[in-house]
Structure 1
């Protein structure tokens, strides 16, 4: 995925997720950017609630673009990172698990929702991290979910078991936006 920063827009070229508003090539006006996060992998959050990912190499240009347009950088709860802790190659204590669930409750997810989301995605994320031998032990998040849905590191037939992937994409974006409650 490649981006180019124009005077008042960002051009996405070869965006890898086919359900995205900018796939495969798209233009995002500055006015449509709600906020950004550049802590790990840079991401843009649109006014429509969609998260778009950029490469780490794009961070300096994104920061400058946001400065020019008064777009804020926010720290929000990584909802998907918290939801996917059980799929990391790491052991968590009961108190760590409870703390994770408490963070998710604090942004409005019920325990039933948390359990349902994890159950629905267990086959996909287990295949993505364990069966593929990726063995990530530090962080899985929305980007990893989208990669798995795109067939990366998983059997080709597995993503289709989730249903219409365009609907799953929109559902994933809605869940990611729960973290907005923690924006600072």
Structure 2
């Protein structure tokens, strides 16, 4: 993924996520950006349509300058996907941590049944991504990781296909990302 900053837009080149408004390449103007988080582990902009677009880490300073120049708010929000994908980390989650995670998800409007359904749907994909592909992430799996897993050649094509139509999957993932507390 490559990103170029111009005076009046951000251009995405080789954006890897089918379904994205900038896939495989495209741009977003300041008027299309709701807010940004250049301090995040994976810097991101959120569009006025509720889409999260990721920026390479090394472009953090450029994103910050672009946002300051155009008056785009800096907003750090909870990562709903980080909580949903927690069971797929390469670590043991204690009972107290799991209760806290479930509480955060319930505050974001998720039912226990919905949480279990999402996790069940994604279990084969995320287990293959984190363990079979030897990513071994033990701290955080979030939206970027989910989208990467859905398209990663290191995950068997048959498992990637279980998510269904890539554009529909992307839209579903973005809608869930918007549900935060």
Structure 1 residue 152, shift from structure 2 partner: 3.7
Residues 37 and 74 of structure 2 are in contact (CA less than 8 Å); yes or no, is this contact kept in structure 1? yes
Larger mean CA deviation between 69-78 and 145-154 belongs to: 145-154
1:127 equivalent in alignment to 2:123: no
Deviations, residues 54-94 of structure 1 (Å, cap 9, x unaligned): 11111000000000111111121100111111000111111
Structure 1 residue 148, shift from structure 2 partner: 0.9
Which consecutive segments of 4 or more residues in structure 1 shift more than 2 A? none
Residues 17 and 170 of structure 2 are in contact (CA less than 8 Å); yes or no, is this contact kept in structure 1? no
Deviations, residues 86-138 of structure 1 (Å, cap 9, x unaligned): 00011111111010010111111111111110000000000000111211101
Q: Distance in 1 between matches of 2:72 and 2:153?
A: 32
Report what 1:13 is aligned to.
Answer: 13
Report what 1:32 is aligned to.
Answer: 32
Residues 128 and 152 of structure 1 are in contact (CA less than 8 Å); yes or no, is this contact kept in structure 2? no
Deviations, residues 10-59 of structure 1 (Å, cap 9, x unaligned): 11111111221101110101100011112211011111111111111110
TM-score, structure 2 length as denominator?
Answer: 0.96
1:105 equivalent in alignment to 2:94: no
Unaligned runs of 5+ in 2: none
Q: Distance in 2 between matches of 1:163 and 1:169?
A: 10
TM-score, structure 1 length as denominator?
Answer: 0.94
Report what 2:75 is aligned to.
Answer: 74
Residues 35 and 71 of structure 1 are in contact (CA less than 8 Å); yes or no, is this contact kept in structure 2? yes
Unaligned runs of 5+ in 1: none
Give the number of equivalent residue pairs: 180
* Mapping of residues 131-142 of structure 1, within 5 Å: 131-142=132-143
* Mapping of residues 155-170 of structure 1, within 5 Å: 155-170=156-171
Q: Distance in 1 between matches of 2:25 and 2:167?
A: 17
Report what 2:66 is aligned to.
Answer: 65
